[in-house]
Amino acid sequence: MNLEFGRVTLFVLFMLIPIVGIALGVRAPALRSRLPLLVAFFAGTIPILAMYIPKNFLSGPQGMSSRLDQWLIIVAGFALLLGIVNVIQNGMRKVSRRESGWPFSVVLLTGLFVTGALGIYGAVSHQGIGFLPDGRSTPFKWIQDSMFLPLQATIFSLLAFFMASAAFRAFRARNLEATILLIAGGLVMAGRVPLLDLLAAPFPALHASAAAGTQTLGKLTEWIMDTPNGAAQSGIIIGAALGAASMAIRVILGIERGYLGLGGGE
Amino acid sequence: MPTLMDRILGLDRRWIFLLVLIAVVLPTLFPIGLPTTTTDSTRRAFDYIESLKPGDVVWLSFDYGPSSAPENDPMAEGLMRQCFVKHVRVIVSALYPLGGLALANNSLARVVAEFPNLKYGEDYVNLGYKDGAAAVMRQLGESIGGAFPTDVNGKPIAEIPMMQGVHDLHQVKLVFTAATGIIGEWWITQVHAQIGTPVIIGPTAVSAPKYFAYLNAGQLVGMLGGMKGAAEYEKLLQVSHPELATLYRSTPHFTGAKGMDAQAVAHALIILFIVVGNFAYIQHRAAARRRS
Amino acid sequence: MRNGVLSRASARLPRFAAPLLASLLFLHPQTAVAIAPEVAPPPSPQIPAATLFTAKDRPGDSGGAVLLTWKDPPGLGPDARLEIRRAEPPSFEWTPLQLVKPGEERYVDESAKDGSVYRYEIRVVPQGATAQPDSLAAAPATGPPLVTEPVTSHDDWFRVDRTNSLIASILFLIILLASISVAKSGKHIFIRRIAGLNAVDEAIGRATEIGKKVMYIPGIQSMDEIQTIASIAILGHVARSTARYGTDLDVPNKDPLTFVSAREAVRGAYLAEGRPDLYREEMVNYVTYDQFAYTAAVSARMVRERPAAIFLIGYFFAESLILAEMGQSTGAIQIAGQADPTQLPFFIATCDYTLIGEELYAASAYLSREPVLLGSTRAQDIAKGILIVLGLLGIVVTSLGLSWFPDLFKTK
């Protein structure tokens, strides 16, 4: 049995203490609500300590901090099971009660079970989910390439249409700030593409001027992106980072408990 | 009775969608061939890669999915072409969970086919996908083998010739991340800030404004912003390496430059919408003031 | 330093020679004095030797690394190389490690094992040599070697290069705890008006009047993202309001961990409001892990069910515009919030109210008005004030040419 200090400490902090706490908490609800806070405290403090203490048991490749990273992935995997169960429950409920849109739930559940089964079959049969030995795609890959990827691209491409309709509706000179937004947005949109070259395309005499204009617009766009935009982004990033640090310390110290369903701060 | 301005202001968005569709499809089917200007951020990225010496190692990470492939694929492929022309060795990885590895495999196969003298394991290697992006990056600073014990084919990296002198990111001259979402930012905070390895990022256009802050702070060596950045990079490649110009002119595959025609027309259309919309809005407001 | 007599010694020495010679290391005051048996050709007096060659444990690391530093000999050409070799005492079997170019004057041996004792040697080798044992045995003459004291690597207790970061973190913690203490003492803490947060109750009230649901989308990232935690905290407040007014709530989730936390937050909120009868499991539901499949599903739900109020609070990526525009098309009142600036322009263009940057993190303090949370919000403002002052000071100092000032704030 590997009894490294880091492994033992993690075991005590994240298994022994919670189990003992739950057992004691059966009789004491107040203790039950404190337990997640204790786990959050340790889970938050260990990576912070690992930043400053390079000892192997803490920040090494097999140290406590690295193991916590791995545990997060494992916990997320189990949480995914919970999510899938929820999808199946909701789908089955809609179908059984013939709620509005229930045929779509049939399609959803069919897709879920068929794709999941093909993926599991690929793992169990050691075929994998990529290519068969003869070079053909597995059914799982065929579903991915023929359905999943094109559908993903389709939804992403909606952005182009929504961007246009949002710009048409929102870029109105209602007040000073909106006007500045409008002008800056228009200039950057014009500067990012050879717009003047496009407009001058049917007129050869204007090509040289259009090229010069495009260069100027491009430089103006670069300045807007570099200077006002860069400064504003830096300010927002720094402010948000401080806010995140403050929020993180509140979570670690148990001051912020809303995310646990335990109400506000204390 | 609604006036023309009222009709414009209340225009059904489906008309806008239709016009955008036409604006994107027509230039794609009938290319215009508009010129591309280059920006400073792309030039800096290009110049840095151009300054690398034969035998140097570059880490190329495919940190995007199929949805942003039209923007990121040309960047990643352009980098590989520049590296192979200069005999710079390339380590390929994928940290984006949904589709990153498939895109890496496809792009690598496409570019490698253009350079028949390349040898896998000596000139380039594909380490495949690894989950847990930020944790993987931290581990790469200590040991590449710890994060990627084998390559994508299952061969231990200790047996791969080009990985012999490359133990961790300290021996890598540059990290290039073609990224969507937050993974690109992690390369800056986890790798450049902790280890000092120079980073060039190729983000999607929507994320590019954020990275100007990092570029100005010197935390990025260069940036290719969106499809325009990819088109600029391709232009610089063609100017400096004429053999690549022939390739780009004749390739049937999608390139950044091919996408810029449609983007230019779409931008022009959106600017037209904004101008018309504002004109209608100002007229409407003036009419309302007159009525009151 | 090897002397001429011993360098011409025969290749095979008596067995006691190594310990005897090694003991000279401890008697001689200079850094690199070991005289080792050598199987390679004798060093050439014409080839210079490096100086000040030291080996020590690399400071502030997790171990497994030894830091070697030296000074190149003067007049060394760019084509020359310095060969570094390693042996494990008491043996003098040298293993080549690296050929280093002139000018580097630094090498880290990262193949060292903690607890193992090593000795290092450096010597100038002629151009064309490689770090392979066979080639050295047949190589032409090399420069005189310099050997270090025995050294061992180990992990350290503190990363010295992060001292400034530690000081800043402790200072921030002190400010935070002091602000919380001040807030607890009853002093009024001012928070400026945040329109988006003031509109939360208005949005929920509107949904109640119309008889439509409230849709809350907590972003697409997992609970390891601090914005998601902030979003779930706000969800708790929204859920308490919907419980109070009896409004229907729908929380579709993309991430499974967020789904679990959101469910707990909503259930806890309904219990706290004394309305557990109104809580239904399907209020908080999991959709799918894929970004655009989730977007398609939620967009379709918006169009079908037409919620009266939509909250888009958390960490969003490309789907932000699709969701917000779809919500806008249904006529819902929309309140968005994200700390990361990337998607903010889309929210500003499509939503009625947007929380920008750290307003998201101040939300739980703003909505609950808990003194402790208000105090911590004040602390982040104090820290930002300090940063602004330091930034201005940096502009002045750097303009005066004092470049050491920005270096104080560099951290690894």
Chunked in runs of 10, what are the mean pLDDT values of chain B (292 residues)?
78 90 92 86 96 95 90 95 96 89 90 93 94 83 86 90 88 94 88 90 91 90 94 94 89 87 91 90 87 82
Kindly state the tokens that stand for C193. Answer: 């008006």
Show Cβ contacts of residue B237 under 8 Å, excluding neighbours closer than 6 positions.
Answer: B46, B78, B81, B82, B244, B248
B226 contact partners, CB below 8 Å, separation of at least 6: B71, B203, B204, B205, B206, B208
User: Mean pLDDT, to the nearest integer, of C336-344?
Assistant: 91
| More confident: A2 or A130 | A130
* Cα nearest neighbour of B135 on chain A: A69
Asked if A246's CB is within 8 angstroms of C372's CB, the reply is no
Dump pLDDT digits (tens) for C222-246: 988 899 999 999 999 999 999 999 9
Q: In what order do the strands lie in the sheet with C353-356?
A: C284-286, C249-253, C214-217, C309-313, C333-338, C353-356
How far apart CA C82 and CA C142 sit, in angstroms, is 10
Paired with C355 in beta bridges are: C337
Amino acid identity of A214?
T
d(CA C26, CA C33): 9
pTM of the full structure = 0.83
Give the integer Cα–Cα distance in Å for C320 and C234: 19
Q: What average pLDDT does this structure show over C178-201?
A: 90
pLDDT in tens, C268-316: 999 999 999 999 998 999 999 888 999 999 999 999 999 999 999 999 9
Contacts of residue A232, Cβ cutoff 8 Å, sequence gap at least 6: C341
pLDDT score of C380: 87
Task: Note whether A218 contacts B39, CB cutoff 8 Å.
Answer: yes
CA distance A185 to A196: 16
**Residue C404 pLDDT > 90:** no
Judging contacts by C-beta atoms under 8 Å, the chain C residues touching residue B196 are: 412
Task: List the single residue in A75, A255, A260 with the smallest CB-CB distance to C264.
Answer: A260
Q: Report the candidate in C411, B216, C220 with the shortest Cα–Cα distance to residue A226.
A: B216
| Chain A partners within 8 Å of B213 (Cβ) | 230, 233-234, 237
Nearest CA in chain B to A129: B102
Give whole-number Cα distances, B196 to A1, B139, B171, B223, in Å: 39, 14, 11, 17
pLDDT at C28: 41
Between chain A and chain C, how many beta carbons pairs sit less than 8 Å apart? 220
φ, ψ for residue C318, nearest 5 deg: -60, -20
How confident is the prediction for chain C on average, in pLDDT? 84
pLDDT at A10: 84
Report CA B47 to chain centroid distance, whole Å.
Answer: 17
Q: Which of A17-21, B30-34, C331-335, C342-346 has the lowest mean pLDDT?
A: A17-21
Interhelix angle C226-245/A230-252, rounded to 10 degrees, is 70
A153 touches chain B (CB under 8 A): yes
For residue A32, pLDDT over 80 is answered with: no
Residue-by-residue DSSP string for chain A: ----HHHHHHHIIIIIHHHHHHHHHTT-HHHHHHHHHHHHHHHHHHHHHHHH---HHHHSTTSHHHHHHHHHHHHHHHHHHHHHHHHHHHHHHHHHTT-TTHHHHHHHHHHHHHHHHHHHHHHHTT--SSB-TTSPBPHHHHHIIIIIHHHHHHHHHHHHHHHHHHHHHH---SSHHHHHHHHHHHHHHHHTTTHHHHHHTT-GGGHHHHHHHHHHHHHHHHHHIIIIIHHHHHHHHHHHHHHHHHHHHHHHTT---GGGTS-S--
Q: Report the complex ipTM.
A: 0.86
The reported pLDDT for the residue numbered C161 is 83
Q: pLDDT digits over C356-372, tens only?
A: 988 998 888 898 888 88
Of residues A168 and B9, more confidence is placed in A168
User: Do B278 and B41 form a contact (C-beta atoms < 8 A)?
Assistant: no
Which residues, listed in sequence order, are joined to residue C94 by a DSSP beta bridge?
Answer: none
Contact across the interface for B210 and A237, Cβ inside 8 Å: yes
Partners of residue C256 in chain A, C-beta under 8 Å: 76, 79-83
Residue A184 contacts B, CB cutoff 8 Å: no
Contact B206 C318 (CB under 8 A): yes
Mean pLDDT over the full length of chain A: 86
